[in-house]
Amino acid sequence: MIKKPTICLASLVAIVLLAACAAPAPTPVPPTVAPTIVAAPPPTPAMVSPTQAPIVAPTAAASRGGELRIATTTDAVTLHPYKRTDSASGGYIGRMFTGALWRYNPETLEPEPFIAKAWKVAADQKTITFTLNELKWSDGKPLTAFDYQWTFEQAMKPENKWPYRSDPEKNIVTYKALDDKTLEIAIKEAKPLPVLLDKVDLITPLPRHVWEKYDWNDPTKNPEIMQPTVVSGMYLLKEWKRDDHATFSRNDNYFRGSPNIETITYRIVPNTSVSLQMLLSGEVDQSAMSDNDFDKAKASDKLNLYEWDPAAASWDYIGFNLRRAPNNDVEFRHAISYAIPRDLIAQKIYNALRKPIYSIFPPTSWVYNPNVPKYEYNIETAKATLDKAGYKLDANGKRLGKDGKPLKLKLLHETPAPTREKTGLVMQEELGKLGIDVEIVPLEWGAFLNAVKKEPNDWDLDILAWSVGIEPSGIRDIWSEATIPDLNSVAYINKNLEALWDRGEKEFDQAKRKVIYQEIQQVISGDSPYVFLTYRSGWSFLNKRVSSNPVTRLGIAYDFQRWFITPGK
């Protein structure tokens, strides 16, 4: 999904907490996953932190009770799992509802059963049957495969306007409960297991026995939409005062055991300077934070720092509007790529909390290709590339386009977004060295999306970001002609590339899939529709009284029920 910096900030906590969950992970870095790790996370105090000792033997020292206090910039909008589109709502909903049939093991990053206790793929590779665990709603009633089926049927009704409906509509053929414990799902085309799992795990069941008597859409006729009373997840909503706070209390019927921490309180603090103070003074345990506040938090003796090299990365890029010259010339794009100092951007703009990236997958991905062309920063190479491609300098030192007119590029970015604003200025300066003028146009988010995606597409460069999951096929649509101008806002068309993506989704041999995705990276980096900039490192601060799980590539948020608070600390 496109990442606004503001949302990143706001939802840092939510993202971290939703990331996943797992069995005890004694080693922080999984040995088997990414064979091409270029940069291991630096050792941090957190990794040797004494707080981690008790977690290795959780039953021995974990104390029950206490309150986890979180400061976040943005409040949820709705608690309806099939209406929400924002990450703040997703964070609250994730506390209350669970439905994931499987998950990535935080240590091995391999898929493993979660709510389902096992799965079985039929010989046709299209049908998968899940056997569910013994599950209960928070009111004690059994949670069955029929709850899944009922929820699926409601969500798929067109009049219920589920924002994520199109994908299952394309892929799912059957979705039915065979009995209380058995759920059978079939998709249209045979897919390798990781893709199959990705396509079928889409329903967070709602309690049919409660919801059935209410309207699905209208919050005035369905009190459960804004105030769910029966849940499947770790926490129940106790109180929600909009834009002020939300309090959750634990659900003793959670299928993996009642969580240690009794209460979670979110406080909505729109100003991150204020929430940082709350974190430093111990008034909250966790907070949204800008990269520039990292050092202050690190210096605090009240906080533990957790850092990890994330298995799934969020990266930002400069997009070329390929609809027009000179952007439609690949040589020109390569020249610009040489002129972007990624290291400087990572160090100075992101306070070294990001690392340069050269491909659509980060070095931590299992399909990462270390041999893609990198276009490392070199102004002289950039100039030489332009000269060679026929973009000559005029007498005033201005670079001329093929039409003989001086080049002037229009750069759009969102505002207010300090990191994007600074990146824009770096671009302006560096391209100035090449004799190219850059006109920066900062726009409010809605206006920005509109300008980038709608006719007449009057722009040359934009700054945006994507967040990429562990399964590489998930970002296929960004590179497809069919998604112009939405996901593919730069209008990048390469039919050979689309064929490669298709092959990647159909290849059953994991090793061969890896080769395909490496080739995809090679093609995209060669075509350079984007200049890849930096990807976000994983980091989180927690008050020392909170004990989380050992750091893995999924962070610390997995198996939240095992977090605990040491009283009096």
Residues in contact with other proteins by CB under 8 A are: 1-2, 77-78, 83, 85, 161-167, 169, 217-220, 226, 241-245, 247, 265, 267-271, 273-274, 277-278, 280-281, 283, 444-447, 449-451, 453, 474-478, 483, 486-487
Q: Which residues contact 254 (CB under 8 A, 6 or more apart)?
A: 98, 232, 233, 234, 561
Match 């159909």 to its residue by tokens.
506
Output 127 or 247, the one with its CB closest to other proteins: 247
Give the DSSP letter string of 359-382.
Answer: SSS-TTSTT--TTS----S-HHHH
Please say whether the dihedral angle defined by the alpha carbons of residues 205, 311, 15 and 41, taken in this order, is positive or negative: positive
Output 281 or 371, the one with its CB closest to other proteins: 281
Select from 536, 551, 569 the least CA-distant residue to 468: 536
In the complex, minimum distance from the CB of residue 304 to other proteins, in angstroms, rounded to a whole number: 20
In the complex, minimum distance from the CB of residue 227 to other proteins, in angstroms, rounded to a whole number: 12
Backbone angles phi, psi at 296, to 5 degrees: -65, -45
In the complex, minimum distance from the CB of residue 40 to other proteins, in angstroms, rounded to a whole number: 30
In the complex, minimum distance from the CB of residue 369 to other proteins, in angstroms, rounded to a whole number: 21
The verdict on whether omega for the bond into residue 529 sits within 30 degrees of 0, i.e. cis, is no
Output 77 or 330, the one with its CB closest to other proteins: 77
Output 242 or 512, the one with its CB closest to other proteins: 242
Output 87 or 327, the one with its CB closest to other proteins: 87
In the complex, minimum distance from the CB of residue 32 to other proteins, in angstroms, rounded to a whole number: 28
In the complex, minimum distance from the CB of residue 503 to other proteins, in angstroms, rounded to a whole number: 19
In the complex, minimum distance from the CB of residue 383 to other proteins, in angstroms, rounded to a whole number: 35
Q: Reduced to 3 states, what is the DSSP secondary structure of residue 526?
A: helix
Output 182 or 415, the one with its CB closest to other proteins: 415
Q: Provide the angle, in degrees to the nearest 10, between the axes of the packed helices 330-338 and 379-389.
A: 160
Q: What is each CA distance from 462 to 315, 348, 451, 491, in whole angstroms?
A: 14, 20, 10, 13
Match 């276009």 to its residue by tokens.
375
Residue 62 burial class via C-beta count within 10 angstroms: exposed 0-12, middle 13-18, buried 19 and up? middle
Question: What type of residue is 138?
Answer: S
Q: Which residues contact 446 (CB under 8 A, 6 or more apart)?
A: none
What is the distance between the alpha carbons of residues 47 and 366, in angstroms, rounded to a whole number? Answer: 23
Question: What type of residue is 102?
Answer: W
In the complex, minimum distance from the CB of residue 2 to other proteins, in angstroms, rounded to a whole number: 3
In the complex, minimum distance from the CB of residue 364 to other proteins, in angstroms, rounded to a whole number: 20
What is the distance between the alpha carbons of residues 277 and 515, in angstroms, rounded to a whole number? Answer: 48
Output 54 or 90, the one with its CB closest to other proteins: 90
Output 404 or 446, the one with its CB closest to other proteins: 446
Reported as half-sphere exposure (CB side, CA atoms, 13 A), residue 144 has a value of 12
Output 59 or 271, the one with its CB closest to other proteins: 271
